[in-house]
Amino acid sequence: MTITDLTDVPDEQDCPDGNYAPDSPCFGKAAGRPRAADKAARRAALLHTAGQLFLEKGYSKVSLEMIAREAHVAVRTIYVKFGGKAGLLNAVITDGRARFFGGMESMETDPRPMEEILHDFALRFLELISLPTFCSLHRMVVAEARTTPELAETFYKAGPQRTREQLGRFFARPDIRAQLRSDVRPELLPVFLTNCIMGDPITRMLFPAEQTPTMDELRARAAEGLDLFLRGVKR
């Protein structure tokens, strides 16, 4: 089931218990179908609640009933719009990723020099994986992957796989491919790039960070990793 906005769901599904407390998303809601902005706000609130519960308690210990109760929505709403808990996690990860790459011009059509495009990507990528919430998510996936394969598969498809596909389409551009060594298999380029960019920080994700890196530190890491990558794959 594809993930869409919380639309076309009758209003009463969002207030299963008639909850009109001031801190409820249902408080002050007018009769009739909600506005698009209201739907988007409720969707964001639901994803935020789900994300917080996953990180605080662990994916396997969080039920849809728990999420629905905390977010003041009906369980059926989550099933209808997200297909279940895995679909909800997919939306949490996808939306978080979009906040970092959404403002970036499509890598498939960006006319800038290859180095500029890749530096833009590298910095955004490092910003994303340096977030405390992302590091917590990564540790959760590592801890529960063996006992909850659904979690590992969802994380991979919404995160690493999507990133590799994005980079794969970029490196497949004829003008970009012409600048790269012909003896390097195209499918390895996204892997090489992300590994060069992440470097040691990916290992540190397994442990609580003392502090989040500054933008200057991220820029330096992005530049160093990209330089290493380009030295290895450019003609």
How many angstroms separate the Cα of 93 from the Cα of each of 24, 82, 97, 216? 24, 13, 6, 26
What is the SS3 assignment for 209? Answer: coil
Greatest CA span in the chain, whole angstroms?
65
Each residue of 200-222: b (16+ CB within 10 Å) or e?
ebeeebeeeeeeeeeeeebeebb
Six-digit token string for 14:
């969002």
Instruction: Give the domains, in start order, of the chain with CATH numbers.
Output: 11-88 (1.10.10.60), 104-233 (1.10.357.10)
pLDDT in tens, 198-226: 877 566 666 666 678 899 999 999 999 99
Give the Cβ contact number of residue 67 at 10 Å: 22
* 4 pLDDT tier (thresholds 50, 70, 90): very low
| Sign of the dihedral through C-alpha 18, 22, 28, 33 | negative
Per-residue pLDDT tens for 110-152?
999 999 999 999 999 999 988 888 888 988 999 999 999 999 9
Per-residue pLDDT at 135:
86
177 confidence band (pLDDT: 50, 70, 90) = very high
For the cut 60, the answer to whether the pLDDT of residue 1 exceeds it is no
Question: For the residues 60-65, what does the mean pLDDT come to?
Answer: 96
pLDDT surpassing 70 at residue 22: no
* pLDDT range class, residue 39, cuts 50, 70, 90: confident
Axis crossing angle, helix 132-144 with helix 149-158, rounded to the nearest 10: 140
CB 158 within 8 Å of CB 51: no
With vertex at residue 23, the alpha carbon angle to CA 17 and CA 24, rounded to the nearest 5 degrees, is 30
**Which single residue is written with the structure tokens 């009906």?**
74
Which one of 37-46, 78-87, 134-143 scores highest in mean pLDDT? 78-87
Q: What is the pTM of this model?
A: 0.78
d(CA 150, CA 187): 25
Contacts of 151 (CB under 8 A, 6+ apart): 59, 60, 86, 89, 140, 141, 144, 145
Q: What is the mean pLDDT of residues 54-78?
A: 95
Q: Which residue has the higher pLDDT, 20 or 117?
A: 117
